[in-house]
């Protein structure tokens, strides 16, 4: 862990119980949101294709997904704070600035660093909830201990098995892993549509059809077993009683608390 990450971890916990709220003041902002969500949906479809390819190890599938997330966070950091986003985020953590740019930079940078650890920490759950409201959208990211609930699709990786198996058992287990990954690929391929439906093209969709929408993505790992949930979520129309005038951090909404309660078992927020 480098010095900058140590400083982030020693500062205020900007992820815990927080979400990013971003205004949607005009059609250009609507289009940008749609394009970003389309990229997430495209990445989900790419992941399903890789999961379904027996020649691609699961470790490569997750490296590909992690690379895409890195690029996404770096893009958001540069959008929010420019090329000096490290310094901006650390200035916020150190108490040298207290504005929405510093807060969002610290939030996204902490997410970025946490994602680096995502596949080395067995029992840590990654939780992402993106919700659309009439004048804004929110992004809620957190990392939790606990278990992913029974609604998840589960699949296994032969590369993560530590047991000493015979050649016959290893071959059988490899086949079982391939089948479980095939089932997971089918699940993702079907459910990724919830992202496109929640954030349709504003130029081709009546406004009433894209005022509200959202999705949740949960992933976790327990040894060689991976669990994943991708599903639509309904925003609470009464969550905000003010207009979104500028980007900033807000308390996580009732939708996040409800999703954690519905989809996870004994969740405990790590960050």
Is the pTM value of this prediction over 0.85?
Answer: yes
Which pLDDT value is given to residue 58? 83
Q: Is the pLDDT of residue 271 over 90?
A: no
pLDDT given at position 75: 86
Residue 42's contacts (CB-CB under 8 Å, 6 or more residues apart) are none
At 68 the pLDDT is 85
For the segment 70-89, the average pLDDT, to the nearest whole number, is: 88
Range of the structural domain that residue 232 is part of: 3-269
Domain total for the chain? 1
Q: What are the tokens at 149?
A: 């609930």
- pLDDT value at residue 50: 94
Whole-number pLDDT of residue 108: 87
Categorize the per-residue pLDDT at 171 as very low, low, confident or very high, splitting at 50, 70 and 90: confident
Mean pLDDT of the chain: 86
For residue 115, pLDDT beyond 80: no
pLDDT at 165 over 90: no
* pLDDT (0 to 100) of residue 23: 95
Tell which residue, 157, 74, 66, has the closest CA to residue 117. Answer: 66
Indicate whether 154 pLDDT > 60. yes
pLDDT for 12 equals 58
Q: Judging by DSSP bridges, how do beta strands 124-133 and 264-269 pair with one another? A: unpaired
Q: What is the pLDDT of residue 72?
A: 84
Confidence tier at 55 by pLDDT (50, 70, 90):
confident
pLDDT of residue 63: 83
């Amino acid at each position: 862990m480098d010095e900058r990450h140590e400083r982030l971890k020693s500062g205020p916990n900007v992820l815990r119980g927080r979400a990013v709220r971003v205004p949607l003041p005009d059609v250009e902002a609507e289009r940008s949101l749609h394009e970003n969500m389309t990229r997430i949906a495209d990445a989900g479809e790419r992941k399903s294709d890789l999961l379904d390819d027996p020649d691609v190890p699961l470790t490569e599938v997750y490296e590909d997904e992690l690379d895409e997330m890195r690029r996404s966070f770096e893009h958001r950091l540069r959008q929010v704070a420019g090329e000096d986003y490290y310094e901006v985020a650390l200035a916020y953590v150190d108490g040298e600035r207290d504005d929405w740019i510093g807060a969002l930079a610290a939030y996204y940078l902490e997410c970025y660093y946490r994602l680096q650890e995502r596949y080395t920490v067995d029992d840590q759950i990654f939780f992402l909830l993106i919700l659309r409201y009439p004048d804004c959208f929110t992004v809620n990211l957190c990392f939790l201990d606990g278990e992913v609930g029974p609604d998840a699709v589960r699949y296994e990786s032969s590369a993560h098995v530590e047991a000493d198996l015979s050649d016959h058992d290893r071959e059988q287990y490899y086949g079982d892993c391939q089948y479980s990954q095939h089932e997971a690929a089918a699940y993702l391929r079907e459910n990724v549509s919830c992202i496109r439906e929640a954030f349709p093209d504003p130029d081709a969709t009546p406004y009433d059809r894209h005022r509200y929408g959202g999705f949740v993505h949960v992933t976790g790992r327990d040894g060689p077993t991976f669990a994943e949930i991708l599903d639509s979520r309904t925003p609470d129309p009464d969550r905000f009683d003010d207009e979104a005038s500028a980007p900033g951090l807000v308390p996580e909404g009732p939708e996040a608390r409800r999703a954690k309660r519905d989809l996870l078992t004994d969740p405990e927020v790590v960050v």
